[in-house]
Structure 1
């Protein structure tokens, strides 16, 4: 039977990095909200068509950003759960190695 060695510090660093990326995505989503509300330069048809397409493109970017945020949230939650399990296991192993009175 072979085991997998997990470096808990690397796991903690990965969680921190993913959280940082998610924060940046949240900021981008907030500032990008204006992309979904593009208005035409005038009331003429070309301006209105442009505005409609530009707003749709902005919404698509916002939707993509949100999907990535959700994926990162899931990954972060899974990594945190894994970290907690390894920490519990490590603490249990240390307790088992202590001499009994």
Structure 2
């Protein structure tokens, strides 16, 4: 036994917090779509250069957002699996004490 103690309520709170952050990122991603379709104010070269730069920046932000969402989803899934394992172990321990 490793001697590591896990506070299940803290684990549940962490899962909820990560889910909340992921939900906020999803909302930001949905509203951020407009950043990927910026158009120049005119057909002149400076407007087109700015629009291209703005689209590239918007796409980079969206990609970063997606990567963070994926990371959080993986973390949430791992924490939920850990929680299930500890809950099953606790239930087994309670059953053995009866």
- Relative to the length of structure 2, the TM-score reads 0.98
RMSD between superposed Cα atoms in Å: 0.7
**Where do residues 49-68 of structure 1 align in structure 2 (5 Å cutoff)?**
49-68=49-68
Note the residue ranges of structure 1 that are not aligned, 5 or more in a row: none
How many residues align? The count is 98
The reply on whether 1:27 has 2:27 as its aligned counterpart is yes
**Where do residues 47-86 of structure 1 align in structure 2 (5 Å cutoff)?**
47-86=47-86
Could you tell me how far apart the structure 2 residues matched to 1:42 and 1:89 are? 65
SS at match of 1:49: helix
Could you tell me how far apart the structure 2 residues matched to 1:46 and 1:28 are? 29
- Relative to the length of structure 1, the TM-score reads 0.95
Note the residue ranges of structure 2 that are not aligned, 5 or more in a row: none
Could you tell me how far apart the structure 2 residues matched to 1:68 and 1:30 are? 14
Could you tell me how far apart the structure 1 residues matched to 2:93 and 2:63 are? 45
